[in-house]
Amino acid sequence: MLVSVLNGVAIGFLLFVLAVGLSLVFGMMDVLNLAHGALFLGGAYLGAAFAGGGWAGFLTALAIAAAAGLAAGALLSLMTEPLRRRTHLDQALLTLGVALVVGEVLIIVFGDDPLAVPPPPGLDGSVSAFGAVYPTYRLLIIAVGAVLALLVYLVVDRTRVGALVRATVADREMVAAIGVDNRRVKAAVFAVGSLLATTAGVLGGPVYGARPGLDATVLILALVVVVIGGLGSVRGALLGALIIGQVDTLGRVLLPELASFILFAALALVLVLRPRGLFGGPVAATGAR
């Protein structure tokens, strides 16, 4: 049982790295980015492509994924800029189109057979935890996820850059009036959010593999996390991800016959009790107007 809790934490941190970018872009910059799952899948395929290279390959994949994520985020920001004053539907259609194109390109490049991604050497074994056998690599996910969570929290809440981002969310015109180009703020948040998505892809490859259709699966998981946690809140995304991690593992152990809809039951419960999500205070309400 305890090993399921541990596994829930691992899955939760992976989901956090994936979802926090979506939450920031949607909650703070008010852009619904449906290409977020495709970015994750791109990262997963990069991990698969470099899987043979040991640690060097793993780190190369991470570096390329980070660079590609930054570039893709900046590009997406540029593409959605003309749609800023339009509805979410227009943004969603554009980014969904991008997601479909990216998905097809990945199939053309990597083929449509599902690929398994082995963890880097030394982490491909298993260790004993709570009287059960547990894959070592998932412990790395917990560590990396925790560090990234702390980092994102500190940047957004404790730095000047973070303050600028929060100010842009609160009153875009006022920030522009004091001489800040808020398009650049948006591009930066978009780029970092996308970087986190591709990084999550490389990290998640050894757990989820890389296959066509995975982008849609993880996009839905990320949306669920964002809705449960509340838009634009780092703490919310972290809590939402950890809750979903537990629901998806411990919940399935305790209630196996409800496995297929327990995730969405949790989502429905949160929507009934806290329609704006657990941490979706007034800030998120403004951000998503």
Partner 1 sequence: MVDKPALTRRRLLGLFGAAAAVPVLSACGSSVGGSSGGGATGGPAAAGGPVKVGLVVPQSGVYAALGTDMQRGWELWLKGHGGTFGNRTVETVLADEGETPQTGVPAVQKVLQSDGVDIVVGLVNSATALGVGDLLKESKKLLIVTNAGAEDVTKKARTPYIWRSSFTNAQVAAAMGAHLARSGFTEGVYAIAPDYAAGSEVIAGFRTAFEAGGGKVVGEAKPPFGKTSDYQPFLTGIQQSGAKATFSFFSGSEAISFVKQYQQFGLSSTIPLYGSGFLTEGSVLTQQADAALGVQTTLHYSDQLDTPANKAFVEAYRTAYGESPSCFSVQAYDAANVLNRAVGAAPALDGDALAAALGGIGTVDDSPRGPWTFEGQTPRQNIYLRKVENVGGTLVNSVVSDLGPQSQPV
Contact between 63 and partner 1 per CB under 8 A: no
Per CB under 8 A, the segment of 54-62, 71-79, 235-243, 257-265 that binds partner 1 is: 257-265
Window 188-207: residues binding partner 1 (CB under 8 A): 207
Contact between 5 and partner 1 per CB under 8 A: no
The whole-angstrom distance between residue 109's C-alpha and the CA centroid of its chain comes to 23
One-letter-per-residue 3-state SS of 159-216: CHHHHHHHHHHHCHHHHHHCCCCHHHHHHHHHHHHHHHHHHHHHHHHHHHCECCCHHH
Per CB under 8 A, the segment of 85-93, 151-159, 169-177, 191-199 that binds partner 1 is: 85-93
CA angle 241–43–19, rounded 5-degree value: 20
CB 136 to partner 1: min, Å: 9
Contact between 130 and partner 1 per CB under 8 A: no
What span, in angstroms and rounded, lies between the C-alpha atoms of 93 and 78? 15
Contact between 288 and partner 1 per CB under 8 A: yes
For residues 7 and 249, the answer to whether their CB atoms sit within 8 Å is: yes
Contact between 121 and partner 1 per CB under 8 A: no
What span, in angstroms and rounded, lies between the C-alpha atoms of 58 and 202? 8
Burial class (CB in 10 A: 0-12, 13-18, 19+), 55: exposed
Contact between 87 and partner 1 per CB under 8 A: yes
| Whole-number Cα distances in Å, 132 to 4, 104, 125, 129, 265 | 10, 40, 14, 5, 29
Contact between 249 and partner 1 per CB under 8 A: yes
Contact between 140 and partner 1 per CB under 8 A: no
Contact between 96 and partner 1 per CB under 8 A: yes
Question: Under the rule (CB under 8 A), what is the footprint of partner 1?
Answer: 1, 3-4, 7, 11, 32, 34, 87-89, 92-93, 96, 100, 112-116, 118, 126, 132-135, 207-209, 211-214, 217, 220, 223-224, 226-227, 231, 248-253, 256, 259-260, 264, 267-268, 271, 275-276, 288
